[in-house]
Amino acid sequence: MPVTILPATLRDMTYVAVNMREADRREIRAVFPGTDTAIGIALFEASPGLAWTAWTGGSPVCAFGISRLFPGLGSGWAYGTRAMAAAMKPVTRFCLRDVAPRLRRDGFRRIEVRSAIGHDLSHRWLECLGFRQEGIARDYGADGLDFMTYAATRERRRRRHEDVCI
């Protein structure tokens, strides 16, 4: 099934948030106690011009992007529905071929991501994108949930993982 990647709209991001996978919901709810709709709104507002949705079968199945923290530093995020798996190869290609060069042109030095311990699919995807594990953020989320910290920096030369990931 073809996958289309579009600039995110508030409607599409909230649709994906309301229908997100349980692993994504558990991870996001550990650091954001709001409703699923509020999650979509907050990430949309925090990521002007740096948020996208992937569509398959006429519906958005994944939302992803970068929130600017301060000049040169961003926080990456992604969440999706159970149908997200069908979109991951095109999303990975888009991130490597379009998003990463744009972030470099826009002066980002570092993109960091925190992902809940045990969210192995997320960890593998981040590594495919060239993120490196930096450590464990203990007691980071609600109820003491530990998170892994990942980062991609412009100083690190990442290996191309396209043969493995896409």
Q: Which H or E run includes 55? A: strand 51-56
Query: Among 88, 85, 67, which Cα is nearest to 76's?
Result: 67
Both tokens of residue 142?
Answer: 């609600």
How far is the C-alpha of 103 from the C-alpha of 73, rounded, in Å?
A: 10
Structural domains in the chain, CATH included, are 4-165 (3.40.630.30)
Q: How far apart are the first and last CA of the chain?
A: 16
Express as a percent the part of the chain with pLDDT over 90. Answer: 88
Spans of the chain below 50 pLDDT? 157-159, 161-164, 166
Rounded to two decimals, the pTM is 0.91
Quote the pLDDT of residue 41. Answer: 95
Quote the pLDDT of residue 156. Answer: 55
Quote the pLDDT of residue 147. Answer: 97
The DSSP output letter for 73 is E
Helix boundaries (H) for 79-161: 88-94, 100-105, 120-128
